[in-house]
């Protein structure tokens, strides 16, 4: 996953090359949120952010906490960022 995130979002790798703790993963998520908002997005979106949410889920962060960081309800975060079949 890290290699994929690095290829799509070099700034994500620079923010935290190999997150290990929940705090590290959430710091990367927060950085991705800031980047998305700085990019002029009306809502929080973007590939880098999707990668950060996926990394948070892989680290075991619950949807409720991810939603809190995104400024949305748990269910809305799940609906928007869950992994969907290809």
* pLDDT over 60 at 31, yes or no: yes
Q: Which helix (H) or strand (E) holds 23?
A: helix 22-38
Beta carbons of 28 and 16 less than 8 angstroms apart: yes
Q: For 66-80, what is each residue's pLDDT tens digit?
A: 999 999 999 999 999
What is the C-alpha radius of gyration for the chain, rounded to an integer number of angstroms? 12
Is the pTM higher than 0.85? The answer reads: no
Regarding predicted confidence, which is higher, 5 or 73? 73
Beta carbons of 12 and 48 less than 8 angstroms apart: yes
Beta carbons of 34 and 44 less than 8 angstroms apart: no
Look at residue 17 in the predicted model and tell me its pLDDT: 47
């Amino acid at each position: 996953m890290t290699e994929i995130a690095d290829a799509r979002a070099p700034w994500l790798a620079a923010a935290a090359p190999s997150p290990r703790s929940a705090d590290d993963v959430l710091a990367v998520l927060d950085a991705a949120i800031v980047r998305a908002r700085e990019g002029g997005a009306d809502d929080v979106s973007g590939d880098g952010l999707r990668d950060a949410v996926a990394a948070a889920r892989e680290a075991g962060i619950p949807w409720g906490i991810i939603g809190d960081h995104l400024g949305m309800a748990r269910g809305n975060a799940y609906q928007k960022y869950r992994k969907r079949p290809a």
